[in-house]
Structure 1
Amino acid sequence: MKLSVVIPAYNEEGSITETLVSLHDCLRARQIDHEILVTNDNSKDNTLVILENLKNSISTLTIYTNPGPNGFGHAVRYGLERFTGDCVAVMMADLSDDPHDLVRFYDKMQEGNYDCVFGSRFVKGGSTHGYPLLKRTINRLANLVISVTMGMSYNDTTNAFKLYKKETIQGIQPLLAPHFNLTIELPLKAIVRGYTFAVVPNRWTNRKAGESKLKIKEMGSRYFFILLYCLIEKFFSRKDFHKDTQLKQAQKLTTKSIE
């Protein structure tokens, strides 16, 4: 099963080398067939120059530059429209996500044939390091609201680090979120539309270089919009977009084409 890794990057000159080298070394050591897709989101620093140089040592690296509109969600979606693997993970460019956890996600997906594997930093075995107290508090409150609203037990929806089968990404289209609210749109749509998932504990480490691109004050209403959108689909779509419904429609089309 070929693994694709989509990494959005905006002004990550201080982190991108360590992130990609450690990721590539980890996947190569496990002999996992993979590709690493970095979407340069029109960085204003030397990120693109560094990426071009890294192509000489990382054979599985592909670089795209998002022409715009820009933003975290747009950059991730740009990569999700272009990956070629059987499954795809979204990871951050600041080395906050551990490549060894990605391998555990990958193994879990194959072991149980899950449509998605979600990480959680807040279950037994998970951990955070250097998480600012204010951001951590806001994170836990936001995830509590999401869990209660959607009627689910999963407690780390807002973390982007997750793994999806190719068919799952195709099945949760169209994606709307242009910003960090894409982090909740992807898993919530997958859950609402009936895709199977497993939760695996993962580690998170605060960035060593650069600045976080997440602006909490700007994101509240945007997260709420996506949450409301997914809630409406859950209760009023009559499962028109559900995995089982899509499979039945695909089977009908296949039968007609054979006839």
Structure 2
Amino acid sequence: MKLSVVIPAYNEEESITPTLRSLYQTLSKYGIPHEICVTNDNSKDGTLRVLTELAATEIPTLVPFTNPGPNGFGYAVRYGLERFTGDCVAVFMADMSDDPEDLVRYYEKMMETGSDAVFGSRWEKGGKVVDYPPLKKFINRVANFIVRMVMGIRYNDTTNAFKLYKRETIEGIKPFLSPHFNLTVELPLKAIVRGYTYEVVPNSWTNRKYGESKLKIKEMGSRYFFILMYCLIEKYFSQGDFRKKTASTPTSTVSR
């Protein structure tokens, strides 16, 4: 099963090289057939130059894209999700915050269970965070608690972008609505609401060493709320029109 990794990159000139080297070396070590799709989101620094050089000299599985616009985290991820060629696809961050070894565990769990998606959790036993800003952690836990209560789910790390989906799952949760970081909530919630199975694997998160986070918390509250309400309405009022169809049953069950 070929793995695609979609990475959005905006002004990541300093972070992108160590991230891609580590990712490529890890996936190659485990013999995982893959492609690394990096969407340069119209960066103003040397990100595109670095990507072009790495693809030509070091990382043969690197496929660089440039998103001419509109720009934003969600648009950049969506650009990659429309163009990957693998059987499954992971969203991975350019800033070294995600661990490639965790991605291998996601992939192996999907191969083992046949689940439609594999979600990471930094907050379950075995997960960890390194240098997580206290205010950001507080907001994260409150936001995820609200998502759990509103949607009636047990999963506790919905806002984490780092997840793995089968191609069929990505096709089944289209069309995408979110242009910004709220896409991180839209993808898993739609998958859950529409009846796609998922497993949860503990994962780690490490704060970026270079540059600054593109997430602006004050700007995102209403956007997260919009997507949450959209998914809630679909869950209770769509009459199952968008749910995954199977040969034996009208919907699948959540695997936990």
For the superposition of Structure 1 and Structure 2, which TM-score range results when normalised by the shorter chain?
over 0.9
- Structure-2 residue corresponding to 1:99: 100
- Structure-2 residue corresponding to 1:32: 32
- Structure-2 residue corresponding to 1:210: 211
Structure 1 residue 245: Cα displacement: 7.1
| 2: CA distance, partners of 1:52 / 1:247 | 47
| 1: CA distance, partners of 2:184 / 2:68 | 21
Matched, 1:132 2:112: no
| 2: CA distance, partners of 1:52 / 1:248 | 47
Matched, 1:226 2:214: no
SS in structure 1 at match of 2:245 = helix
| 2: CA distance, partners of 1:184 / 1:26 | 27
| 2: CA distance, partners of 1:247 / 1:73 | 35
| 2: CA distance, partners of 1:67 / 1:98 | 29
| 2: CA distance, partners of 1:63 / 1:46 | 13
Matched, 1:110 2:118: no
Structure 1 residue 244: Cα displacement: 1.6
Contact 1:239 1:245 in 2 (8 A): no
Q: Residues 162-201 of structure 1 correspond to what in structure 2 (within 5 A)? A: 162-201=163-202
Structure having the larger proportion of residues in helix:
1
Which letter does structure 2 place at the counterpart of 1:238?
A: Q
| 2: CA distance, partners of 1:98 / 1:8 | 16
| 2: CA distance, partners of 1:100 / 1:11 | 25
- Structure-2 residue corresponding to 1:17: 17
Which letter does structure 1 place at the counterpart of 2:193?
A: V
Structure 1 residue 14: Cα displacement: 1.1
SS in structure 2 at match of 1:164 = strand
TM-score when normalising by structure 1: 0.94
| 1: CA distance, partners of 2:193 / 2:249 | 17
Structure 1 residue 8: Cα displacement: 0.1
Evaluate the alpha carbon distance shift between residue 92 and residue 247 of structure 1 in structure 2; reply closer, same or farther with a 3 A threshold: farther
Which letter does structure 2 place at the counterpart of 1:87?
A: C
TM-score when normalising by structure 2: 0.96
Which letter does structure 1 place at the counterpart of 2:54?
A: L
- Structure-1 residue corresponding to 2:84: 83
Report sequence identity in percent.
71
| 2: CA distance, partners of 1:248 / 1:63 | 40
Which letter does structure 2 place at the counterpart of 1:133?
A: P
Task: Give the aligned length.
Answer: 249
Which letter does structure 2 place at the counterpart of 1:31?
A: G
| 2: CA distance, partners of 1:246 / 1:171 | 16
Contact 1:127 1:204 in 2 (8 A): yes
Cα deviation digits, residues 21-54 of structure 1 (max 9, x gap): 0000000000100000000000001111111110
Which letter does structure 2 place at the counterpart of 1:21?
A: R
| 2: CA distance, partners of 1:202 / 1:222 | 26
Which letter does structure 2 place at the counterpart of 1:115?
A: D
Structure 1 residue 247: Cα displacement: 9.7
SS in structure 1 at match of 2:120 = strand
| 1: CA distance, partners of 2:211 / 2:12 | 7
Contact 1:41 1:65 in 2 (8 A): yes
Q: Which blocks of at least 5 consecutive residues in structure 1 are unaligned?
A: 250-259
Which letter does structure 1 place at the counterpart of 2:15?
A: S
Q: Which blocks of at least 5 consecutive residues in structure 2 are unaligned?
A: 251-256
